[in-house]
Structure 1
Amino acid sequence: MISLLYVNIGEPETSGATTTVVELLKRLPKFNVKVGLEELLFSGEKGIADKFPDVVRNVRYNRKVMPYRESFIGRYLRFIYKNTFFKDYIDNIAKNYDFTLGFYTYNSIIMHYLEPYISFPLYKHYFKLVKQTNPIDGTVWFAKTLIGLRRYRRSERSICAGKVLQNKVKELGISCKVLDPPAGVNLELVESSSTLEGYDLLHVARQGLMKGTPEAIEVARRLGLSSAFIGKVDHGFSMPHGVNYLGMIPDQRKIYGIMKGSKVFIYPSHVDSFGIVVAEALSCGLPVVAYDIPALRYYYGDCGAVKLVKEGDIEGMVNAVKEFLKGEYHDVAKACAKKYSWDKVTESFKEILEGFSSKELSQVA
């Protein structure tokens, strides 16, 4: 039996990466993979076990809670603890598993959900990070980026969320196995979610520049339609006055219910490796207008309920929304989402782990 240890540091953010990890942790034991989960949290933080209690039913679980809340000093102390005592602890625990994910140790697997946030020349990238944060956090971020890039290039156990991402990171000298499909939809949860009052336009994402929130707002303004925006606001971005921002909604059934009651999903994201939320919208029968970026074109380009427009083309999005509002795309959308199940993702992940194990056994022999 293959075994995997997952290590979570801090309260997990709402993101495609978190969703993927949670769904894998829940399903891997059913696929005959032994799973362990270790968490390191600040006092008051909610870990994976708190937010997703189903995860810990079939895994070996343990947590360590530091006796203070998150702060600048707290982050510094946790950094020291994580790289000394906690590292020794994980190094010892990892001996009981074939692979470790989420923490760097001797048997680590590196999982790429998005291309590394780095640009060249490096000195310009450094100043960009400092500008986005502050001199101390920017410097730490920059150092971690360089260390991470070096590890990524040296790793022989890396996984990429999809073929498009694999091609992208190859440009940075990183090689990885492809998780295909890279993510899925819990179709049973979608079907069991009740339809709620929706909107003409719906945008569910991390609210900010990367996910195209300003463009989505502008499309809604030009059309004069009812709209709603759901998701955490990115650091440095503020939701404009007058926007119907519903905040973060932790109840996935409620999100699906709103999707079911809405008419068009707008997703002008500039960066993505798959777009889980696109698959979720489609599974709720909601047609999607998005930017024509590589990953969305690769996975959804042949779907009749998805219209892709050139990045920055606001008028193109406006016209695409108008066209969707004239027709009926419910069944077409749902059909497009059926091929993306979490069980298929889990099967792919297990096959990759088995491949890593076979390669290491052959090297030993």
Structure 2
Amino acid sequence: MSNVNKPLKILMILHMPWNRNLGGARVQLELAEEFQLLGHQVEKFDILDAFPHSKFSRLTSLTRPSFATKARAYVEANAHRFDIIDAHQGNLPFSKGKLGFEGLLVARSVGLYAFCEEFASFEKTKWAIKPQGNPISRFLRNWRNKQESPYYLKSLEACDLINLPNFDELKYVKEQWGLEKKSVVFPFGLSEQRQQKFISVIPPSEIRLSHQEIVFIGYWSPRKGSRDWAEIIRRIKEKIPKAKFLFLGTGVDPAQVLADLEQPPCEWIKIVPSYDSEELPELLSTATVGAFPSYMEGFGFAVLEKLASGLPTIAYDIPGPRDMLSSLDTKLMVSVGSVEEFANRLIDILQLSPKSYSILSEQCVQKAKRFSWKEIARAHLEVYTELLQSIK
């Protein structure tokens, strides 16, 4: 086994703010915390470091230099200080020679870009999504996407190691690009402290079942299932009139959510556009069952945290959630887009006996405990250290 006790200097690079409330950033941020607890040094270079004086708007994001250009300049100036660079896919589409870096270069996926492109095509077909924004913005966005789209594959080809969040992505990387030999799968996780916070506020099963509350966590968008919810609600209310719905972290005005749900303001639908990450355990404590009709994920923090809260969670059978739910209970997954089946599974959970619900709830907690950041961080370091030794 490689020696992972030697202090390493690690640079995290990401094209978004270093913010725990953002799922994409949270992965590296929380891994960094675990690395530091193990005695390693971690620094970051994020979008705010790249553009510290910018007034962020849709227009400036389309007209400023690419993040990759800024990241390259930073690495060229600081490469000598780091043993490992862990960058989001597309952030460093350059060879180590061009970067002047001799350590381990990692390209990280928190949702493979190729899968995002596939969903974008699917979305246009399924829902006839029309272009949004004014023509100038659309032109600039399309131009920028055309310029930067090649960065994603280039970054995977240039790196020493591809870090993937689920096994479906590993299969794709193998079959489409033949890059499986330098790929590794690491799931996302929770810290021991956060897991304990969820557990500490779990109420008795009888109380949870009496609430009859269904909870969704995620940004309100077609990718996360927003177009399916109106029918899901109608089907559930037909069978369980007292059912309630909680939508967390939608990121949009509640009026827009209600319009998509085809419902007026009412006491049985609660919408929380944003919340602090530390508030989530308490917010989930009133719920009975989780619902996650997402069409595309890297891993799915929303599923993992509901499991940690003891909430049986129904999800579409997609990469990410599949890695958590398939070995827990296959009845928790339904075919992608099967709204009737999705609603029926939620109804089944709401109608469980307290004993059956309690058993399933405890299984959810135990499943979540298997996704420990502490252990995942140690596994990262073993792989990173072994590869670092082999290239030096």
TM-score by length of 2: 0.74
* Aligned counterpart, 1:55: none
CA RMSD between the two structures: 3.5
* Aligned counterpart, 1:355: 386
- Measure the CA separation in 1 of the matches of 2:200 and 2:302: 18
**1:199–1:261 contact (8 Å) kept in structure 2:** no
Residues 187-266 of structure 1 aligned to structure 2 (within 5 Å): 187-192=195-200, 200-224=213-237, 225-233=243-251, 238-241=256-259, 242=263, 244=269, 246-266=271-291
- Measure the CA separation in 1 of the matches of 2:129 and 2:345: 36
- Measure the CA separation in 2 of the matches of 1:72 and 1:285: 39
By how many angstroms is 1:281 displaced?
0.6
Q: Secondary structure at the match of 1:229?
A: strand
* Aligned counterpart, 1:280: 305
Q: 1:181 aligns with which of 181, 187, 190?
A: 187
Residues 143-162 of structure 1 aligned to structure 2 (within 5 Å): 143-162=147-166
Distance 1:71 1:288, change over 3 A: closer
Residues 1-365 of structure 1 aligned to structure 2 (within 5 Å): 1-11=7-17, 14-41=21-48, 63=49, 66-71=52-57, 74-75=60-61, 78-79=64-65, 83=69, 87-102=72-87, 103-104=91-92, 105-107=99-101, 108-117=105-114, 131=131, 134-173=138-177, 174-175=179-180, 176-184=182-190, 186-192=194-200, 200-224=213-237, 225-233=243-251, 238-241=256-259, 242=263, 244=269, 246-304=271-329, 307-327=332-352, 328=357, 329-361=360-392
**1:7–1:37 contact (8 Å) kept in structure 2:** yes
Distance 1:7 1:273, change over 3 A: closer
Residues 176-223 of structure 1, C-alpha deviations (whole Å, 9 max, x = no match) = 432433434531232355879976111101221112122234212321
Q: Secondary structure at the match of 1:169?
A: helix
**2:166–2:299 contact (8 Å) kept in structure 1:** yes
Between structures 1 and 2, the one with greater helix share: 2
* Aligned counterpart, 1:51: none
Distance 1:81 1:284, change over 3 A: closer
Distance 1:64 1:137, change over 3 A: closer
Higher RCO (CA-CA < 8 Å; seq separation 6+): 2
Q: Secondary structure at the match of 1:83?
A: helix
**1:201–1:262 contact (8 Å) kept in structure 2:** yes
Give the share of equivalent positions with the same residue, in percent. Answer: 16
What residue ranges of structure 2 are gaps of 5+ in the alignment? 1-6, 93-98, 238-242
Tell which deviates more after alignment, 12-21 or 316-325: 12-21
Aligned length: 335
- Measure the CA separation in 2 of the matches of 1:199 and 1:15: 29
Residues 309-357 of structure 1, C-alpha deviations (whole Å, 9 max, x = no match) = 1112222112211211122132222122221111122112212211320
Q: Secondary structure at the match of 1:357?
A: helix
- Measure the CA separation in 2 of the matches of 1:219 and 1:347: 41
Residues 58-93 of structure 1, C-alpha deviations (whole Å, 9 max, x = no match) = xxxxx5763341135633664279736x74343212
Letter in 2 for 1:141: N
